């Protein structure tokens, strides 16, 4: 009986974030201080690019990072308000997770846990740069994963 309990314990999937950190951060405010006096009534144009990266560190640890580049432009004045580049990462512990689920955990579960913190950093940096908080829209990582799987399937067919 004790062996059975021990086997179940060993086979129980484990998943947790162990460490979170900023790998790279750049905030450019190329038109300061003039841009603060040229504020527009119109909403600025926002161009955001997101890239998700992951790599295996050892048998049970993976690094997952979100790379975000955001360029905010006052279209009326044709001036860049700011450019934000952020690579925010975390190390995740994954143990006893079936091999067929690892890819989805790295592409969906890990960035879903990481993104709110990434969003907060981007917001705080924009405030520290003299602007209103830059709030990125929530991201549905499951939908992104499913779309990438469909595209992959279409390529192989």
Instruction: Give the pLDDT confidence of 112-130 residue by residue, as tens digits.
Output: 999 999 999 999 999 999 9
- Choosing among 3.10.420.10, 3.30.160.20, 3.40.50.1000, 3.30.2310.20, the CATH entry for 14-156 is 3.10.420.10
Q: What is the pTM of this model?
A: 0.86
| pLDDT class of 3 with cuts at 50, 70, 90 | low
Which token pair is 7? 């086997």
Query: So where are the chain's domains?
Result: 14-156
- Residue 36 CB neighbour total at 10 angstroms: 12
> Which pLDDT value is given to residue 39?
67
d(CA 18, CA 6): 24
| pLDDT tens digits for range 17-46 | 999 999 999 999 999 998 888 766 788 899
Structure tokens at 41: 């009534």
């Amino acid at each position: 009986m004790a062996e059975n309990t021990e086997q179940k314990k060993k086979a129980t999937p484990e998943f947790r974030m162990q460490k979170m950190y900023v790998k790279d951060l750049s905030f450019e405010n190329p038109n300061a201080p003039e841009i603060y006096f040229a504020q527009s009534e119109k909403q600025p144009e926002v161009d955001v690019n997101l890239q998700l990266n992951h790599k295996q560190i050892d048998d049970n640890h993976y690094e997952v990072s979100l790379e975000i580049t955001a360029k905010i432009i006052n279209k009326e004045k044709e001036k860049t308000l700011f450019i934000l580049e952020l690579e925010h990462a975390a190390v995740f512990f994954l143990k006893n997770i079936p091999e067929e689920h690892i890819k989805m955990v790295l592409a969906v579960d890990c960035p879903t846990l990481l993104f709110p913190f990434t969003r907060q950093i981007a917001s705080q940096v924009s405030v520290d740069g003299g602007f209103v908080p830059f709030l990125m829209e929530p991201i549905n990582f499951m939908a992104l994963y499913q779309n990438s799987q469909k595209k992959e399937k279409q390529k192989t067919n």
